[in-house]
Amino acid sequence: MRSAQRTGPAGPTDSADDRALVRDSALVWLAGGIVGVSFGAVAVGGGLPLWVPVLMSVVVYAGAAQFSAIGVLFAGGGPAAAVTAGLLLNTRTAAFSLAVAEIIGTGRVSRFLGAHLVTDETVAFALAEPDPARRRRAFWVVGLGLYAVWNLGVLAGALAGGALGDTDRYGLDAAFPAVLAALVLPSLRTDATVRRCALLGAGLALAVTPAVPAGVPVLLALAGLFAHRHRVASGAAL
Amino acid sequence: MNATVTVTLALAVGTYAFRLVGPALHGRVTVPPRVQELASAGAVVILVALLATGTLTDSGRFSGWARPAGVLVGAALAWRRAPFAAVVLAAAATTALLRLAGTG
């Protein structure tokens, strides 16, 4: 994303732009692939048949929701709690999809395909670009590449997972929180209001974790939004 | 149809519906800025809570020291704006090495 923050009207040529975009995307693809491998390995390691994580990754395509859904299942939370936890995590994609609706394109095919590619990564990359044409290109390049790498990674992890045994031995359980840290740190760093809400919410979630079913703590964390003050003086209503 | 298939399909349909909100409504409805602001703040709040509980707890109990240590290394790298891949690999490697050395 660093190269996406280039400034100055006399920018480099289109092909240099494309190379920079692919180079930066490759890091995100690699990270996505690694998380995909860990998802496949964790799912199979937890006792699911190989095709479950593979199918889930193709049709759901949302890392955090997939992890939390199988996490709730493995913790004995039941199907309803698993779906609820996953969907509540994905409510953010509704907000994201509003933010990138114009970037995705207006054609029927691009809207229906592009919607499936709305993730933290595609949104962050697209919004970091300065003009509409580059935003659209960033969205599609990052999105299509990530979709391919994610699913191949999950398949590889699911295939290897059975042979790997206990995936905790490889520290894969630390990989997902680390990815989350990398995703949220920029917002926490720049936005004091969000930081206050998030810390309050995380504290609440940790406090109730021993007492409530898996998946519920992160929802209760939303109570942290009560610390969210109006920043727009006029026209703001809650 | 077992529980995992039901979970997968329900999650897929619901998630796609969320993702279609923007493209489907585009040009028809304006979302109030306050709602959009709270939606994105809520996403970060949920992610940070998931980060905290996923780092420190496992099945409702303390996860042991190896995982939080690994996540801390990853987070420190992320704070220094290291690439995603370095963050993820360093976190996993730290945790793996600590476990190899006998830390929980």
Query: Tell me: the pLDDT tens digits for A10-30?
Result: 445 677 778 878 877 887 788
Note whether B80 contacts A: Cβ–Cβ < 8 A. no
The answer to whether residue B13 is domain-embedded is: no
Could you tell me if residue A186 is inside a domain? no
Residues 31-70 on B with a CB inside 8 Å of A are 31-34, 36-61, 63, 66-67, 70
The predicted complex's ipTM stands at: 0.80
Which pLDDT score is estimated for A6? 42
Cβ-Cβ contacts under 8 Å, A235 against chain B? 32-34
B72 near A CB under 8 A: no
Instruction: Tally C-beta pairs within 8 A across A and B.
Output: 302
Instruction: Judge whether B93 lies within some domain.
Output: yes
Cα A111 to Cα A123, B16, B22: the distances in Å are: 15, 12, 9
DSSP assignment, residue B1? -
Number of helices followed by number of strands (H, E) in chain B:
4, 2
Q: Cβ B53–A218 below 8 Å, yes or no?
A: yes
Within a domain: A212? no
> Cα separation of A237 and B34, whole Å?
7
pLDDT of residue A103 exceeding 90: no
The band of A1, judged by pLDDT with boundaries at 50, 70 and 90, is very low
Nearest-CB residue to B7 (from A31, A79, A101): A79
Tell me how many domains chain A contains: 1
Backbone angles phi, psi at B71, to 5 degrees: -65, -40
Assess if residue B79 is contained within a domain: yes
**B97 assigned to some structural domain:** yes
Please list every residue in chain B whose beta carbon sits closer than 8 Å to the beta carbon of residue A153.
none
Answer whether residue A206 is part of any domain. Answer: no
A12 occurs within a structural domain: no
pLDDT digits (tens, 9 = 90+) for A162-213: 666 666 788 878 877 887 787 778 778 888 998 999 999 999 999 999 998 7
Q: Has residue B94 been placed in a domain? A: yes
- In-domain check, residue A4: no
Rounded to 5°, angle at Cα B86 from B84 and B87:
65
Across the interface, of B8, B44, B58, the residue whose CB is closest to A184 is B44
Across the interface, which of B14, B75, B85 has its CB nearest the CB of A34? Answer: B85
Amino acid found at B98: L
At B28-54, the pLDDT tens digits run: 777 677 876 776 677 778 778 888 998
| Domain membership flag for residue A125 | yes
Tell me which chain B residue has its CA closest to the CA of residue A211: B60
Kindly report, residue by residue over A50-71, the tens digit of the pLDDT. Answer: 999 999 999 999 988 898 788 7
CA gap A12, A15 in Å, rounded: 8
Q: Could A87 and B91 be called an inter-chain contact, meaning their C-beta atoms sit closer than 8 Å? A: no
In a domain, B95, yes or no: yes
What domain count does chain B have? 1
The DSSP string of A51-120 is HHHHHHHHHT--HHHHHHHHHHHHTT--HHHHHHHHHHHHHHHHHHHHHHHHHH-SSHHHHHHHHHT--H
Domain range enclosing A58: 17-167
| Residue span of the structural domain in which B103 resides | 64-104
